């Protein structure tokens, strides 16, 4: 990602990117792209560091949903798995053939789950889901 940002920066300042007419926006577009890629690279580096240094839940608090918990929600016979991460929610992973969605404590679902125990019921969409497991 850093290399892509550096390449975009080089293109934005390259002699060949000079404006050739009043409607030529190549240099400006390249500069916007470089800025966006640099920002994304910084955000991803911070997210990697947050996950790398994340503390997993204390076994004594294993009954509470917290950052680092794998949560199983159940509605009728349907189960959904969520991992409460420190940042960058929305990622969907497949682990042992099961889909796991990464959420954050500040997300709407995360706010409903944080510090809750097995058996807690929450509204997701139009359905009432129960907190079936925390690991």
Domain range list for the chain: 2-52, 59-134
Q: How many residues does the chain have?
A: 135
Q: Which CATH number fits domain 59-134: 3.10.105.10, 3.30.70.60, 3.10.50.30, 3.30.565.10?
A: 3.10.50.30
| 129, 74 contact by CB (below 8 A) | yes
Residue 17 pLDDT > 80: no
Bigger pLDDT: 85 vs 27: 85
Query: What percentage of the chain exceeds 90 in pLDDT?
Result: 50
CB 98 within 8 A of CB 44: no
Angle at 16 between CA 10 and CA 17, to 5 degrees: 65
* Residues 48-58: b if buried by 16+ CB within 10 A, e if exposed: eeeeeeeeebe
Task: Work out the pLDDT band at 93, boundaries 50, 70, 90.
Answer: very high
Q: Give the model's confidence band at 31: pLDDT under 50 very low, under 70 low, under 90 confident, else very high.
A: confident
């Amino acid at each position: 990602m850093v290399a892509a940002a550096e390449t975009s920066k080089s293109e934005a300042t390259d002699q060949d990117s000079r404006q050739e007419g009043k409607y030529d926006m190549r240099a400006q577009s390249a500069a916007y792209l470089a800025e966006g890629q640099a920002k994304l690279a910084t955000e991803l580096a911070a997210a990697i560091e947050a996950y790398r240094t994340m503390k997993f839940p204390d076994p004594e608090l294993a009954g509470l949903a917290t950052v680092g918990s794998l949560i199983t929600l159940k509605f009728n016979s349907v189960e959904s798995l969520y991992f409460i991460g420190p940042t960058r929610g929305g990622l969907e992973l497949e682990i042992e053939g099961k889909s796991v969605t990464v959420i954050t404590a500040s997300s709407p679902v995360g706010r409903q789950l944080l510090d809750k125990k097995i058996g807690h019921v929450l509204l997701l969409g139009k359905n009432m889901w129960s907190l079936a497991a925390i690991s």
